[in-house]
Amino acid sequence: MRDLHGKTALITGASRGIGLAIAQRLVEEGARVCITARRAETLAEAVAKLGGAEHAIAVPGRADDPEHQAKAVADTVEAFGSLDILVNNAGINPVYGRMIDLDPAAFRKVFEVNVISTLAWVREAHKAWLGEHGGAVVNVASVAGLGPAAMIGAYGASKAALMQLTAQLADELSPGIRVNAVAPAIVKTDFASVLYEGREEKVAAGYPLGRLGVPDDIAGAVAFLASPDAGWITGQTLVLDGGLLLKSGV
């Protein structure tokens, strides 16, 4: 178990699923965390699961709202005295279908939340703490960004952009700030349920490891990339796919 005592993390989209699992893992390893999401009541339940105010605070709001971004970062530094780790987990995929048929407004919204707001969060954290003190950023991308993604093309395109953003920021912010990403395949969450519900066994058969991912699979990888154990890693996207891409040739 890595030791993150004395470190503070801010995790977006963390009231449930992958984001909450990341927060739980970081708390287990000694960090204090600020979690964000849209619904205050769900966040309050998550803070309780994380051990209460000694270990976690919550700031509700939309991930792409600049006022929310500034408040969450400021509240984190005020509550815990630092902001050493930023995990950009918030993401949306409000449409399902061929990209050619997609409403341009929906396409813009996907990129606004999944890409542009990620850069905005990094800018806020950089201004408030990371720029002077250093730290780590981990972005949650997706294997959908590594090639054509049937029926979720806009989401895949946004995650491809996020991986490029990760590499660009890693180059620009070195040596003080490490920036990496994880790219999960299907993880069993409400967010991804349309991709496996009612046919999980069939979908899992396409994975060499024989199962879909669970949030803890992603949390462990994020905790590693955020920790000193990954001190010589930056600009990388770690694929977490149960071996899926072995069969696709990507």
Q: Which two tokens stand for residue 69?
A: 């971004």
DSSP secondary structure letter of residue 60 = E
Which residues on adjacent β-strands are paired with residue 182?
140, 238
Active site (annotated) includes residue 196: no
Burial 175-198 (b: 16+ CB within 10 A, else e): eebbbbbbbbbbbbbebbeebbee
Residue type, 6: G
Q: Which of 96, 155, 196, 207 is catalytic?
A: 155
Rounded CA-CA distance 85/242 in Å is 26
Rounded CA-CA distance 141/158 in Å is 9
- Reported residue count of the chain is 250
CB atoms within 10 A of CB 84: 22
Residues belonging to the active site: 155
